Structure 1
């Protein structure tokens, strides 16, 4: 896969596509506190929280594209954006097709996630909803939504050290 001409690829794009960087480490390892990117290996683009709604964007190195994981008491985790300090949330609760946003941490089930290493999906802890690139549109600025798991490339993500 080549990087889109309108994007700046992360220097480790080859490693990103392999989806093998962070998944072998404990998810709440203190090393991860320095930040990871959440990367779609098909597009090479990352989750970006520079706006209220989380979008797919080309890698820029901005802190809005860096995240850290914070363990919950029940073994799941919060995904916290380093740029704004807010938590990745399903807007309005656990609802299919709802936008992913960042919001203040309140500990609700719409903010708790786990990673399925078998299929590289990031799953809401109380549903079968996963992070999904809306309508399989691998273009900068596309919204991310919570959607039932089907396993196509628009639902696959890797954690990559920044």
Structure 2
């Protein structure tokens, strides 16, 4: 197993695409999704899901709700809606949680990739443009750093 991140109370390990959580966090813990290259965070406050400087506002905070072993719904804390893939199979949007929608279900891999179950594509910084307001999309795995993200806890667990 490879440690994904460590906080005061929680240690998350990933092995075979399954996230193991130890500690006292619940599904209500909040997380940032940060680009490993730019250190900008995934933000849902603009018309498109995009990269922004961290400011701590709720559109930048996400919950990871279990769907099944190793698979999660990624829920925006501001809207309560799930990160979803649009009909074009590229664009991201936020939708009402639909437990039957595989386009709302995600693997978080140990290599920093966040893979959508429904379209088998990774979160990706469009055009590898690591600047503020650059959209986040899904794209086939290409091994590029534009597909590497860190999921980091924002709020201390009780």
- The TM tier, using the shorter chain, reads 0.7 to 0.9
- For 1:156 and 1:73, locate their aligned partners in 2 and report how far apart those are by CA, in whole Å: 23
Of 102, 105, 121, the residue aligned with 1:109 is 102
- For 1:70 and 1:42, locate their aligned partners in 2 and report how far apart those are by CA, in whole Å: 26
The unaligned stretches of length 5 or more in structure 2 are 14-18
Name the TM-score, length of structure 2 as normaliser: 0.80
Aligned length, in residue pairs:
141
- For 1:56 and 1:125, locate their aligned partners in 2 and report how far apart those are by CA, in whole Å: 22
Of 25, 46, 51, the residue aligned with 2:41 is 46
Name the TM-score, length of structure 1 as normaliser: 0.78
Mapping of 1:115-130 within 5 angstroms?
A: 115-117=108-110, 119-130=111-122
RMSD in angstroms over aligned alpha carbons?
Answer: 2.3
Larger relative strand fraction: 2
- 1:85 matched residue in structure 2: 80
- For 1:82 and 1:139, locate their aligned partners in 2 and report how far apart those are by CA, in whole Å: 23
Deviation of 1:125 (Å): 1.6
The unaligned stretches of length 5 or more in structure 1 are 1-18
Task: Kindly indicate whether the alpha-carbon contact (under 8 Å) linking 1:66 and 1:83 is maintained by their aligned counterparts in 2.
Answer: yes
- 2:147 matched residue in structure 1: 155
- 2:16 matched residue in structure 1: none
